[in-house]
Amino acid sequence: MADEQTGAPPDGEHGAERNARIGLILFFVYLALYGGFMALSVLKRSVLAEAVAGVNVAILYGVGLIVAALALALVYMVLCREPGDKGPGA
């Protein structure tokens, strides 16, 4: 509820702000990866056709995007500080 934004303990507020900032940074990292894939598909499709270790770049990039999503999510979980973890639930 709205009171959580104004009435949270300073510690919790700090943690939430920090988490939000980390989230946005990681979001833009992923956006760059995803945008890169879209740009290659539209502008330089020939790059996607090249083979690296027997498999073409398109497959590697596509699977890479899926793996990257999980990797970034794990990074996020590790970086997030959560004073509310042990506290009472929202």
- Which residues here bind other proteins, judged by CB under 8 A? 1-2, 4-5, 16, 19-20, 23-24, 26-27, 30, 34, 37-38, 41-42, 45, 48-49, 51, 53-56, 58-59, 62-63, 65-67, 69-70, 72-74, 76-77, 80, 82, 84-85, 87, 89-90
Q: Count Cα atoms within 13 angstroms, Cβ side, for 39.
A: 6
Angle at 60 between CA 39 and CA 68, to 5 degrees: 80
Measured from the CB atom, the residue of 2 and 10 that comes closer to other proteins is: 2
User: Least CB distance from residue 49 to other proteins, whole Å?
Assistant: 6
User: Least CB distance from residue 14 to other proteins, whole Å?
Assistant: 14
Measured from the CB atom, the residue of 11 and 69 that comes closer to other proteins is: 69
Minimal CA–CA distance to 57: which of 68, 69, 67, 46?
Answer: 46
Give, in order, the Cα–Cα distances in Å from 25 to each of 44, 79, 87, 90.
Answer: 27, 12, 27, 25
